[in-house]
Structure 1
């Protein structure tokens, strides 16, 4: 009678006594009430009908199935264990007990249940499926894949097994195989999880268009799918299609008002378009939902700094730091805020406090080095960087800082070594290749410098600064015709570049092509910083040509406007022949 009552109530709600509850069915309020009343009077009923034989095993199994469907896993487990005492080989009890243990995160015990069931009944698809899911969660990918193949050997069209097989193949970097399996699912079924995973794969492979096709299909079938709305919103956000992104993020908040990721993304969008009030509201909502949320806190601090509310941002860092067992990260943020806002002395105190507790904090040491660099205390700065590199030899930020400091103290050989270290990790970095080339040039290794500039030019033929440097190298190496050719190429792109014109004039001067040199010099505007140097060069040319009067006239005007040319002229070999003349002495005295 007890069994009959439970059975009839379960069957009224579509719950089979023999089902394996891989996806827990819902229990309505009325059924739940009936079952609970039945459980309360179970012993009384049994005592009243003790003349009628009852199936205690089936009774325990039905009760266990009911509690499983209600997601009361601890109670369910008790009845499955009671049922298995009476029938240890029941695959239904074993498999559903495994499902209880799985939901209670007792994964190893769950696998034991499924293995026990498979000893007697060798072909239970649900047991293989659950074993595969557990092994996947434990990152035992190869064995999980084997379990899903077992399911598909028994049930070739089992969609759930196909999906989890595809998911496992993605985890093992066999993406092409995974996509084939997942597409075989969605070709005939609106399987939401497969569509979502296909969208994620396409986005990861930088194929946003393909990703959108999967996600839009998913949203046609399931308009309220939060994950799909989030992904579509992110795609549009990255593509700067802001209105579309906003629409999807706002839809997420309609469905799930406390979705933290969405509030952060909306806050970022609003901050980027300078809608600071709404941005702040979103970040504060994140911190209302999760008061210690790191991204929410960081975003709010960035926004406060952007608004110029530096003291408020610093206060926020301090308040949050006081609530944490390890406040280092928040104190670092405070120090960086102070540094970014030129409160150098306060920043130094903050970083020293951090280093007092942990003397090898790389971020604090790096910022101390920056502070000492600003104070022109380069050796102190280098000492900080040396401490970083003592424990972290591959720290690129520290190596870059060390290279710049080496340049400042004139240690070019060391700077070159640091650039080589950086380029061993970033071999195609144009900026560091250019820096290395400049150091080589300073060290007089012009051929090596020119080779690097040639490589850089081949990578980017539109870069005028590289062309200028390459031309300068040829000028130094006395390859004047080649230098002129390079300067001409650069001037085609920027005809009024005074630096190029001046360097080209020097090349013509060295070739004794004085008319061509003067033509270049005369193209340099009076408002340009190189104009005076161009005039000085013209005075030298006039002197070479024997036009002493014209040379002195140019030089006289120059010296009146810029005293530096008096000293240049006094030490210029070309003016030695007139050095004793009254006019020249008057100019240079």
Structure 2
């Protein structure tokens, strides 16, 4: 019965014959009701006309004014809306809600100045009204007038009827935006005095303490919250991070174990525990712990996954491979596990199996060209650079505008002694991504080492260093550029900086040794060249013909002694 009545009413309201034939005696509240129903059905034109007619009959009714103004804005009748808005403001000027509504409309149409002026007008009639002050604060922040926002908030705080805690919190955010952490802390402390259980304020204050390295203050704050709710995982995670930053790994371990006890399926917590143990150098402990966790949670494949990575960390690749294959029996299409398995095969020099695994991944998603990139790296690693180049060309058919692919192609072409093609691909990579530090450095170093254009090479390397300061490879390139220019002091300075960061890099040892020899420090220079050879014997060449080049230099220097 109710449904029949509803549809009958709907038919009357929206029938063409009835729609706008208003009677002089029509009940204005009934007209307003028609307006609301029409609006609910999305018929804004009819809704607007019903509200207009209702407003004519009830000009002293603020909510009909508001509805009519909002509808006119929805219909794009901005001039009509603003005209009505001014009439509304004059008609109800003695009501604080009038100024709030008018300001909200101006703010809605992006006229922030008018919104502020309206509220300031209202404030003269209603001094220190918290609603007006609160909206003014929001608008001052929109205008980026933080000084006025702060002044207004201070007035809000003095208003006994307002929520002081919210004002203090907003004030703290403004001070934080201004990098005034001391003031931010003071205001957050005021929030917590008024609302000790305000978690949002406590988290923000704890994070500021952590950034300021006030670790004990952060720990005290988080523990106060945990006294009331010891299973609050968000606070426990933040407490864990503070202990890690403080290098208090013992307490960090206790906290992360508690998190895992509460939620053993929390992948993030399990991973954090693994990384914490690695940071502590507890390789054997992490394996034992995760073996136990795996037995306690046999269906938790993520714990098994972490266990596999733990075995990778101690270079027991066979055990890692075994675990990954166990997981794949239950989840054969898990790309993350397949990727780890392929990596483990690569690290154990089982390149055929690595390629086979990457092929499985590629069949799962032939659009994922990153798998082809990984395959190319494996082929290059096993000295099959021609095949690596072919694979990158296949990847480029999928992603022709990927700068990294052109960069990789350039490296392989360079290894195959096809420099001119390599140069074009490096330039293409930089066209696609101007701020590509590795490509900038590679091209710059190539210009330097080949003596094509040393000054241009130095310029490119400097651009790379702006994007990645203190990168050892880039520092080496810059130092080598100065060496080629004959500036041995600058050359030694930059390459020594790089060598301090990467003492086991063969190229850095080679370059530093050569600079020392050039400066007359023969014996010391030869030691670095010999070290470079020793590293190459273990790990292979970092550059084509590097071993032969170093041996020639050693023989030449010894022959001249």
TM-score normalised by L of structure 1: 0.51
Q: How many angstroms does 1:469 deviate by? A: 0.6
The match for 2:191 is 218
Alignment of 1:236-275 (within 5 A): 236-254=209-227, 261-269=234-242, 273=247, 274=249, 275=252
Alignment of 1:294-373 (within 5 A): 297-301=267-271, 303-304=273-274, 307-308=286-287, 309=290, 315-316=301-302, 331-338=334-341, 341=344, 355-361=362-368, 364-373=371-380
Alignment of 1:57-206 (within 5 A): 91=61, 121-123=91-93, 124-126=95-97, 129=100, 140=108, 142=110, 146-147=114-115, 149-155=117-123, 157-168=128-139, 170=141, 174-175=143-144, 177=145, 179-190=146-157, 191-204=164-177, 206=179
The match for 1:529 is 530
Pairing 1:279–2:286 present: no
Distance 1:90 1:260 in 2: 54
Q: How many angstroms does 1:315 deviate by? A: 1.4
Q: How many angstroms does 1:445 deviate by? A: 0.8
Q: How many angstroms does 1:240 deviate by? A: 3.8
Distance 2:384 2:196 in 1: 62
Q: How many angstroms does 1:185 deviate by? A: 2.3
Cα pair 2:100 2:132 within 8 Å, conserved = yes
- Return 159-168 or 523-532, whichever deviates more: 523-532
* Matched residue SS, 1:188: helix
* Matched residue SS, 1:155: helix
Distance 1:380 1:148 in 2: 67
Distance 1:405 1:498 in 2: 24
Distance 1:438 1:472 in 2: 12
Change (3 A) 1:301 1:214: same
Change (3 A) 1:92 1:180: same
Distance 1:336 1:390 in 2: 22
Distance 2:378 2:494 in 1: 39
Pairing 1:227–2:227 present: no
Cα pair 2:102 2:118 within 8 Å, conserved = no
Alignment of 1:438-517 (within 5 A): 438-448=445-455, 451-452=458-459, 455=462, 465=476, 468-474=479-485, 482-484=486-488, 486=490, 502-504=513-515, 507=518, 517=520
Cα pair 1:163 1:181 within 8 Å, conserved = no
Distance 2:429 2:148 in 1: 43
Q: How many angstroms does 1:473 deviate by? A: 1.5
Alignment deviations for residues 60-97 of structure 1 (CA, whole Å, 9 cap, x no partner): xxxxxxxxxxxxxxxxxxxxxxxx99x97785877999
Distance 1:427 1:490 in 2: 25
Cα pair 1:470 1:486 within 8 Å, conserved = no
Cα pair 1:501 1:524 within 8 Å, conserved = yes
Cα pair 1:524 1:531 within 8 Å, conserved = no
Distance 2:165 2:132 in 1: 14
Q: How many angstroms does 1:247 deviate by? A: 2.8
Distance 2:383 2:533 in 1: 31
Q: How many angstroms does 1:335 deviate by? A: 4.1
Distance 1:208 1:443 in 2: 52
Distance 1:491 1:373 in 2: 28
Cα pair 1:249 1:266 within 8 Å, conserved = yes
* Matched residue SS, 1:189: helix
Q: How many angstroms does 1:313 deviate by? A: 11
The match for 1:73 is none
Distance 2:175 2:341 in 1: 42
Q: How many angstroms does 1:437 deviate by? A: 1.9
Alignment deviations for residues 86-118 of structure 1 (CA, whole Å, 9 cap, x no partner): x977858779999xxxxxxxx989xxxx99999
Q: How many residues align?
A: 411
Look at both structures and tell me which one has the larger radius of gyration over its CA atoms.
1
Distance 1:280 1:339 in 2: 31
